[in-house]
Amino acid sequence: MRKTISIIGYIGMVGGHVGGLAMQRPFFTPAFVIPVQVVAVLLFFWARFTFGRRSFHVVADPTQGGLVTSGPYRYISHPIYAAMCLFTLAGLAGHRSWGMGLCGGLVLATALARIFCEEALVAARYPEYGQYAGRTWRMIPYVY
């Protein structure tokens, strides 16, 4: 069930981004959005680089090789999802509309669903995840 929800979460995150683009709302305007989205892209690549050669899975599926706790994972448990949500919400702030709000809400809601599924699967594979989760934030340091 969790793997099915994680697939729905992935489709929702991709769908939210595609929906924003389909409305012909360029993400990089106005100017105040640019630095926030640059930070989001840098966080995404830092997390991806730190994660290493492990493959990307559409289905939340913990990989072999141990729990990653360095780089951005030292501070937040889900930096890739945080980066995707930050990028999307910055675009929403630059283009406030019902359509963009729905796309941003879809990305955020499905990322959260995927996080909960992924956490349960990772905790089952790596018993030390509970201690790690207790000392890190999920997406936003000092908030969530």
pLDDT tens for residues 55-96? 566 666 666 777 888 899 999 999 989 998 998 888 888 877
Residue 29 within a domain? yes
Tell me the pLDDT tens digit for each residue of 94-115.
Answer: 877 888 888 888 889 998 988 8
Is residue 22's pLDDT more than 80?
Answer: no
Give the DSSP letter of residue 144.
Answer: -
Supply 33's token pair.
């959005």
Domain count, the chain: 1
Provide the domain limits for residue 73: 2-55+62-135
Q: For all residues of the chain together, what is the average pLDDT?
A: 82
Which residues are within 8 A (CB) of 66 and not within 5 positions of it... i.e. 6 or more apart?
Answer: 126
Which residues are within 8 A (CB) of 138 and not within 5 positions of it... i.e. 6 or more apart?
Answer: 76, 77, 78, 115, 144
Residue 143 within a domain? no
Residue 142 within a domain? no
Unique residue bearing structure tokens 């937040």 = 76
Residue 31 within a domain? yes
More confident residue, 12 or 26: 12
Residue 36 within a domain? yes
Closest by CA position to 51, among listed 74, 29, 35: 74
Report the pLDDT averaged over residues 15-40: 75
More confident residue, 53 or 108: 108
pLDDT the model gives residue 69: 86
Percent of the chain with pLDDT over 70: 86
Model pTM above 0.85: no
pLDDT the model gives residue 83: 92
